[in-house]
Amino acid sequence: MIAERCYAALGDISKTRYLHKVNTIAEYARGEIGGDGTQHFMVRAKMAVLQHDFKVAENILVDQGQIDECLDMYQELHKWDEAIFVAEAKNHENAADLRSNYYTWLIDTGQEGQAAVLKEKEGDLQLAVQLYLKGGLAGRAAALVQSGKMDCARDIQEKIATALLRSGLYDKAGAFLEQLQETERALDAYRKGHAYRNAVELARREFPQLVVQLELDWGDHLCQLKQVDMAVAHYIEAGQSTKAIEAAILARQWNKAIQIVDTQDPEIAQKYYKQIARHFETSK
């Protein structure tokens, strides 16, 4: 009662109204079980909710056989998953209706992604894919199709690929297109997403003439990311000895630089020998 008056004085109307309901129940319980009424199961459950101890409130209500009250509590809190779990665990007659109501609420509130998760759990994978796409979760849609749990129409596959590309998920788009045997589009997606490891692996199998260029692009990309030490090997693979030497020197991989320089023609190697020599002179 004191807490109710304090919240009223502070202007916290929602907690004031809530505690007023709790106090009303407690007042009724005083005549039923004696004492101050605070030990009544409904009072204890509502106070647990107020403290966000929802599982405690659930246990109190379920132990008292108040399944409907427990379901109402979770629905008021929009904790539909918990409500459905309790209903199904207790074989409640409204379990199916709860799932239907939850799905309707998700769609009405624009939560297509969560609705897709619900439909995926129910096994309606075709609808789940469509909802993932509608909710802007192309990656989830692609993963579901790639799982092999369902047959997917070609037009839906194309929508998923397009959505992945539009979302900038180029590596996932590449993997998805590769699974669809769209190897050229897959390679293009990998290149756009700088997923060079996947691009090179695909090129080795399908486009061996492009491997050298991809290794060069990979090395340039690593240099842009200031990962010069990692770029050296890719420049070597691309046959770009000059770039490999310069990257090794920048990365202060002096022994690696010497190894590469030693394989070059004298007119190319001369200036790099001088740079390397100056380093060893400086470092005594």
Predicted confidence at residue 2, as pLDDT, reads: 92
DSSP secondary structure letters along 149-207: SS---HHHHHHHHHHHHHTT-HHHHHHHHHHTT-HHHHHHHHHHTT-HHHHHHHHHHH-
Q: What mean pLDDT is predicted for residues 213-233?
A: 91
- What's the full length of the chain, in residues? 284
Quick check: 73 and 49 in contact, CB under 8 A? yes
| Cα separation, 109 vs 130, whole angstroms | 17
In percent, how much of the chain has pLDDT > 70?
100
For residue 34, pLDDT beyond 80? no
Average of per-residue pLDDT values in the chain: 88
What's at 169, amino acid-wise?
Answer: L
Structural domain boundaries in the chain: 217-284
> Tokens 């009405």, residue?
108
> How sure is the predictor about 206, in pLDDT bands with cuts at 50, 70 and 90?
very high
Predicted confidence at residue 207, as pLDDT, reads: 94
